[in-house]
Amino acid sequence: MSFYGEHVLPRVTEWILDRPKIEELRRETARGLHGDVVEIGFGSGLNLPVLPPEVRRVHAVDPDRTGPRLAAERLAHSPVRVDFVGLDGRQIPLDAASMDGALSTFTMCSIPELDRALAEVHRVLKPGARLHFLEHGLSDDPELARWQRRVTPFYSPFAGGCRFDVPIAEAIARAGFELEELDARQRRGPKLGAFLYQGIARKP
Ligand X SMILES: C[S@@+](CC[C@H](N)C(=O)[O-])C[C@H]1O[C@@H](n2cnc3c(N)ncnc32)[C@H](O)[C@@H]1O
Residues that bind ligand X (CB under 6 A): 13, 17, 40-41, 43, 46, 61-64, 67, 88-90, 105-107, 110-111, 160
When the beta carbons of 14 and 181 are compared against ligand X, the nearer one is 14
Question: What CA–CA distances, in Å, run from 196 to 35, 44, 55, 83, 133?
Answer: 26, 20, 25, 28, 10
Residue nearer to ligand X on the CB measure, 40 or 184: 40
For residue 113, CA distances in Å to 81, 116, 119 come to 29, 6, 10
Q: How far is the CB of 143 from ligand X (least distance, A)?
A: 25
**Chain residue at closest Cβ approach to ligand X:** 43
Nearest distance, CB of residue 142 and ligand X, angstroms: 26
Angle at 38 between CA 64 and CA 187, to 5 degrees: 75
CA atoms within 13 A on the CB side of 44: 17
Residues 6 or more apart whose CB falls under 8 angstroms from that of 12 comprise none
Closest approach, Cβ 103 to ligand X, in A, equals: 8
Output 47 or 139, the one with its CB closest to ligand X.
47
CB of 83 or CB of 178, closer to ligand X: 83
Report yes or no: 43 and 67 within 8 Å, Cβ to Cβ: yes
Nearer to ligand X, 105 or 139 (CB): 105
Nearest distance from C-beta of residue 147 to ligand X, angstroms: 20
Q: In angstroms, what is the minimal distance from the CB of 65 to ligand X?
A: 9
Distance of alpha carbon 111 from alpha carbon 113, whole angstroms: 6
